[in-house]
Amino acid sequence: MAVETGQMAPNFGVSHWVQGDPTNFDQERNHIVVLEVFQVNCPGCFLYAIPEAIRLYHKYQDDGVRVLGLATAFEDFDKNTLDNLKLLAETGQVIGETKRALAMSGQLQEGDKLPYEIPFPLGMDNLTRTSGEPSHEAIMNVIYPQIPDFDSQPENHRMQLIQRVKNYLRAKEYSAETFEKFALRGTPSAVLVDRKGVLRDISFGQTELEGMIQGILTED
């Protein structure tokens, strides 16, 4: 089953750290943790989410807020790779749709590189090659977070949704542990955990993340 806000946050999956010291939620007690989940081939991640995560890092690092970046892959598995994450961390170079979008908006430096540095730790989600038919549990773990009232839907509609998700899972080359454990809807997504290790929010796209951080900072 997918994790729920208000419960202790399980550790996220990570196969490699390409920047910064290895860590996880259980090692960050007494810190507020923002886990920014992105794909290297994701224009919106680099146009909006990562610059915002960098801003939060600089603004709140002295207040005990830790920002971590985790690259994942739920599509474009040939581009959303560990090698391209290493290239990003080591040189600032971007690829694919990210490069095209940043170039069109005039936000690339010479050599297809980001105009900013990512200062926080960067890791790669734990990817496992998929095989065989997706289980009923795996299918429902995709459906329920998106459609909480799924069981009350008409039977024909339920069967169509199940088949659609089954086809989607069949087509996936890899299973991404963090992406699936936290039932993320896409990238960029942010996972917010408080100083006690409790999961406070999972958000997709533009969010009110700073307001939630400020709220946690005022708690005893």
Is 122 within a domain?
A: yes
Half-sphere exposure (CA, 13 Å, Cβ side) for 217? 15
Residue 11 lies in a domain: no
Judgement on whether residues 101 and 186 belong to the same structural domain of the protein: yes
Residues 83 and 21 grouped into a single domain = yes
> What is the tens place of the pLDDT at every residue in 125-154?
999 877 677 778 777 877 887 788 888 888
Work out how many domains the chain is built from and give that number.
2
Residue 62 and residue 111 in one domain:
yes
* CATH classification at residue 88: 3.40.30.10
**Are residue 40 and residue 120 in the same domain, yes or no?**
yes
Domain annotation covers residue 50: yes
Q: In what order do the strands lie in the sheet with 199-204?
A: 16-19, 122-124, 65-71, 32-38, 189-193, 199-204
For residue 75, give its domain range.
Answer: 16-126+181-217
Mean pLDDT lowest among 42-46, 84-88, 141-145, 186-190: 141-145
Lowest mean pLDDT among 63-72, 98-107, 149-158: 149-158
Same structural domain for residues 117 and 200?
yes
Distance CA 44, CA 47 (A): 5
Is there a single domain that holds both residue 49 and residue 140?
no
Q: In terms of pLDDT, which residue wins out, 189 or 133?
A: 189
Instruction: Classify residue 138 as exposed, middle or buried by CB count within 10 Å of its CB (0-12, 13-18, 19+).
Output: middle
Q: Which amino acid is at 155?
A: E
Least confident stretch, 28-32, 160-164, 171-175, 200-204: 171-175
Q: Is residue 92 part of a domain?
A: yes
**Nearest Cα residue to 19 out of 79, 98, 85:** 85
Q: How far is CA 68 from CA 41, 78, 132, 173, 194, in A?
A: 18, 24, 33, 26, 14
- 7 is a domain residue: no
Helices (H), 35-154: 43-44, 50-60, 82-91, 96-104, 136-146
Mark whether 24 and 118 lie in a shared domain. Answer: yes
Does residue 105 belong to any structural domain of this protein? yes
